[in-house]
Amino acid sequence: MTNDYDVVIIGGSLAGHYAALAATQLRATVALVESKVNYGFIYHQAINEISNLAQNKDDVAGFGIHSRCSDSSQTCDRYVAWQEAMLYAHGVVSNIQEHNSPAILAAQGVDVIVGNGQFQSSPQLAFIVNNRPLRARTYLLASGSHPAIPEIDGLQATGYLTLSDIWQSLNQRTLAKNWVIIGGIPQSIEIAQTLARLGCSVTLVVKYPYILPHIDPEIAVLLQAQLEVDGVRVLTEKLVTQVRRIEDKKWVQAGDKAIETDEILVATEQQPNLESLNLATVGVKWHQRRLVVNDKLQTTNHRIYACGDVIGGYDFANIANCEARIALKNALFFPRLKVNYRCIPWAIFSQPMLAQVGLTEAQAKRQFNQDEVLVLRQYFKTVAAAQLQDETTGICKLIVLRNGEILGASILGKEAGELINLIALAMSQKITIRHLADLSPVYPSFSEILEQTASEWSKQRLNSNTALQEFLEGFFYFRRNWNL
């Protein structure tokens, strides 16, 4: 029996849409099975942009940001008209939905099938949707994830919001004033800061020693300090043990602290959308909320690939798209490409932004001889562009070997997302720190921080090489007396 498609993509995530369009560009026949796309990420980016504008400008028409002045004191303060702000966010999401609509995908050659389905193994491997078997040479799982809810006494009875439904709840006329966010993932940090900048009282509860377990501790401390400046109360190394509703108020017990709040947001970890796919029948295994895949993104059934947060890890769109690109090419051609997470950057959309690629200082020193690892750092206050824009909060850390190989970078500061892309490109192309130090960026610009930080490499090498210092001193002494 012949196959209907070259690949069937399961899941309407943005990575699934990306893979479907990429497949049509390669002239492959592709079906995309989707139920409903969650645009919560886009909603948050839109509201985050509003909160940033509210911090920096007096009045922004169309965003819901206005100035309110007092005649007696002759002072003005900014406020956000919440319904207007949500109208702006709805407009952004509507435009993006239109670009990813079934009609647009179909016009590009994608066979879009709306509905839920499951795998069958006999008489041959197929994915069944609406009683229709979709047969393909390969399949790509891009079904995304949903919030995993921790077992906390009283949480279900009291009520809570998640990353999936928070934006629907924000369609109300007014924004809840008091929030407790049970966090520990990038989105919890972003939302905590956004709500605080919109005038809410926010407590972020994290079970780890730092606000995130996988970032450089030095960076984590600076980001936490910024959150606290913005009004977020951060409680680290605290477990939420119980939740109660007392007289129309919600109470959260975090460690030894009882916190009264209007709303609770649970943003701890995600769980892959796998339950209804009948994966066990076709030999696809998963372990502790992670789909088992190899470095070619094949599952334990070699004809079924996976990408995005369905395989676990943080939910970052650029990482999901990179995985989709590699998995798709392996699925359509020969499985030879391997995913290299070392050179894929990621970022947290905080203010200032945090971005990271490769190894942190601690990770590098565990993998290599500590004497071979150099840590280069520079602060944004040394950059002219940062001074001009009053964006001096930030640090750039580059982790390199003595031979100049770049192992990783962590940047907290203005334009960190753009800067980390340059470091990621340098790492992927094996450009050494010496060449990065020769960068002559536009002045003034934030790229100057990369040149300054990279220049620390030659300084550190010189300071640790006594013989070279003595040679240079002798050489220039000789030069100074050459014509005497």
pLDDT tens digits, residue range 97-140?
A: 777 778 888 888 999 998 888 999 888 899 999 889 999 999 99
pLDDT at 468 over 80: no
Q: Flag whether 309 is marked binding.
A: yes
286, 199: one domain: no
pLDDT at 445 over 60: yes
Query: Is 191 part of a structural domain of the chain?
Result: yes
Side by side, which strands form the sheet with 132-134? 117-120, 126-129, 132-134
Q: Flag whether 410 is marked binding.
A: no
Relative to beta strand 30-34, strand 286-287 is unpaired
pLDDT tens digits, residue range 331-386?
A: 999 999 999 999 999 999 999 999 999 999 999 999 999 889 999 999 999 999 99
259, 201: one domain: yes
194, 127: one domain: no
CATH number at residue 185: 3.50.50.60
Query: Is 242 part of a structural domain of the chain?
Result: yes
Q: Flag whether 189 is marked binding.
A: yes
Query: How many residues are given for the chain?
Result: 484
142, 125: one domain: yes
Residue 318 to residue 480: CA distance in whole angstroms: 55
pLDDT at 197 over 80: yes
Count of structural domains within the chain: 4
141, 280: one domain: yes
135, 10: one domain: yes
Query: Is 481 part of a structural domain of the chain?
Result: no
What angle is formed at CA 400 by the lines to CA 396 and CA 406, rounded to 5 degrees?
90
Domain boundary among 281, 315, 339: 339
Average pLDDT value for residue range 453-481: 80
Place of tokens 């999901």: 320
DSSP state of 370: G
DSSP state of 298: B
The residues with which 260 forms a beta bridge, in sequence order, are: 251
pLDDT (0 to 100) of residue 59:
47
142, 12: one domain: yes
Average pLDDT value for residue range 412-426: 95
Q: Categorize the per-residue pLDDT at 287 as very low, low, confident or very high, splitting at 50, 70 and 90.
A: confident
pLDDT at 414 over 50: yes
Query: Is 250 part of a structural domain of the chain?
Result: yes
pLDDT (0 to 100) of residue 412:
96
249, 284: one domain: no
310, 239: one domain: no
pLDDT (0 to 100) of residue 472:
77
What is the overall mean pLDDT for the chain?
A: 86
Query: Is 130 part of a structural domain of the chain?
Result: yes
Q: pTM for this one?
A: 0.86
pLDDT (0 to 100) of residue 478:
79
Query: Is 182 part of a structural domain of the chain?
Result: yes
CB 414 within 8 A of CB 446: yes
| Span of 101-110, 275-284, 388-397, 401-410 with lowest mean pLDDT | 101-110
260, 311: one domain: no
Query: Is 288 part of a structural domain of the chain?
Result: yes
The residues with which 385 forms a beta bridge, in sequence order, are: none
Note down the domain range covering 53: 41-88
132, 277: one domain: yes
CB 307 within 8 A of CB 142: yes
The token duo for 187 is 């989105």
Q: Flag whether 259 is marked binding.
A: no
pLDDT (0 to 100) of residue 58:
47
Within 10 angstroms of residue 258's Cβ, the number of other Cβ atoms is: 11
The pLDDT > 90 percentage for the chain reads 58
Give 169's contacts (C-beta < 8 A, 6+ positions apart): 161, 263
Between 333 and 199, the more confident residue is 333
The dihedrals phi and psi of 203, each to the nearest 5 degrees, come to -115, 125
Average pLDDT value for residue range 384-412: 94
Q: Flag whether 186 is marked binding.
A: yes
Q: Categorize the per-residue pLDDT at 1 as very low, low, confident or very high, splitting at 50, 70 and 90.
A: low
161, 276: one domain: no
Query: Is 476 part of a structural domain of the chain?
Result: no
Average pLDDT value for residue range 259-281: 90
Angle at which helices 217-229 and 186-197 cross, to 10° = 20
Q: Flag whether 345 is marked binding.
A: no
CB 410 within 8 A of CB 216: yes
Q: Flag whether 190 is marked binding.
A: yes
CATH number at residue 443: 3.30.390.30
